[in-house]
Amino acid sequence: MSSAPAVDSQLLCQLEDVKKSYPMGDLLVQALKGVSVGITAGEFTAFAGPSGSGKSTILNLIGCLDRPSSGRVLLEGKDVATLGDAELGDLRARRIGFIFQSFNLIPVLTAYENVELALRLAGAPEKGQREVVQEALRSVGLADYMTRRPAQLSGGQQQRVAIARALVKKPALIIADEPTANLDSKNGAAILDLMKTMNAENRTTFLFSTHDAMVMERARRIIRLADGEIVSDDAAGPAAAGA
């Protein structure tokens, strides 16, 4: 690859011929085989594809939880390979929110404290924190559940806490790896609708992965992966033009 493609500063995130392989004994598993894609601020985009197609791998690279084997990952025009671990950690804490399939809340903390911790880690000023945390929990419908611990909440309620935790620091990007996989279809639909409202109200970019057709149909753009490659991307289609 001699000619590096130009950086498009309009893009929130850009992957350029990204490959990722994992060592497995003597073998290398090629999880991504050269993926190029651009994500614009404000998108509500699903990565779809069968198990093992590379959805989590791509989200982990975009979220700076991992680094590519080759190719470039650019966030807000910055090549993440040029950032040290401290800078990457800072970027993750301030600019990216994560929502996981298994909610990943801290079990000994209340809903309020789980959200508050994320705000602290993002370096938000002490002043006004209580209102910001309360407002985040209110916005996901949990005004009456702030003092409950995760074990005292339903799966759908735990995922709402996770959404509040991701949103509270007002990140540019929220990454959600199969956010509805542990929820029944009614709660899954409600979580997706909530994410979509947050996307519309705050212009927060959402990238999520799913196997679920019901979740997929709520996406504005669907990028399909198979065997470590993008096989379709409806970004050019009418559905991508916005609501």
Ligand X SMILES: Nc1ncnc2c1ncn2[C@@H]1O[C@H](COP(=O)(O)OP(=O)(O)OP(=O)(O)O)[C@@H](O)[C@H]1O
Give CA 122 to chain center in angstroms.
16
Residues 6+ apart with CB under 8 A from 84: none
What angle, rounded to 10 degrees, do the helices at 129-139 and 155-167 form? 140
Measured from the CB atom, is 41 or 100 closer to ligand X?
A: 100
The reply on whether position 31 binds ligand X by CB under 6 A is yes
The option from Mg ion, ligand X, none interacting with 1 (CB < 5 to 8 A, set by class) reads none
User: If you ran DSSP here, which 8-state letter would residue 162 be given?
Assistant: H
Q: Which of 98, 88, 105 is nearest to 169 (CA)?
A: 98
Beta pairing partners, 21: 30
Measured from the CB atom, is 137 or 176 closer to ligand X?
A: 176
Can you tell me the distance from the alpha carbon of 18 to that of 155, in angstroms, rounded to the nearest whole number?
Answer: 35
Measured from the CB atom, is 21 or 202 closer to ligand X?
A: 21
- Candidates 1, 5, 9, 22; binder of ligand X (CB under 6 A) is 22
Residue listed under structure tokens 């007002």: 170
The option from ligand X, Mg ion, none interacting with 53 (CB < 5 to 8 A, set by class) reads ligand X
Distance of closest approach, residue 206 Cβ to Mg ion, in angstroms: 17
Can you tell me the distance from the alpha carbon of 157 to that of 219, in angstroms, rounded to the nearest whole number?
Answer: 22
The reply on whether position 55 binds ligand X by CB under 6 A is yes
The reply on whether position 24 binds ligand X by CB under 6 A is yes
The reply on whether position 54 binds ligand X by CB under 6 A is yes
The option from ligand X, Mg ion, none interacting with 54 (CB < 5 to 8 A, set by class) reads ligand X
* Residues 56-75 as x/- pattern, contact with ligand X by CB under 6 A: xx------------------
Binding part of the chain for ligand X, among 24-32, 117-125, 188-196, 229-237 by CB under 6 A, reads 24-32
- The end-to-end CA distance of the chain, in Å, is 38
For 183-203, give the DSSP string: S-HHHHHHHHHHHHHHHHHH-
Coil, helix or strand for 49? Answer: coil
The reply on whether position 86 binds ligand X by CB under 6 A is no
Residue 21 contacts residue 29 (beta carbons within 8 Å): yes
Measured from the CB atom, is 42 or 52 closer to ligand X?
A: 52
Measured from the CB atom, is 31 or 164 closer to Mg ion?
A: 31
The reply on whether position 49 binds ligand X by CB under 6 A is yes
Measured from the CB atom, is 181 or 239 closer to Mg ion?
A: 181
Distance of closest approach, residue 230 Cβ to ligand X, in angstroms: 12
Coil, helix or strand for 166? Answer: helix
Residue listed under structure tokens 């109200």: 201
Q: Summarize as ranges the residues that interact with ligand X (CB under 6 A).
A: 22, 24, 29, 31, 49, 51-57
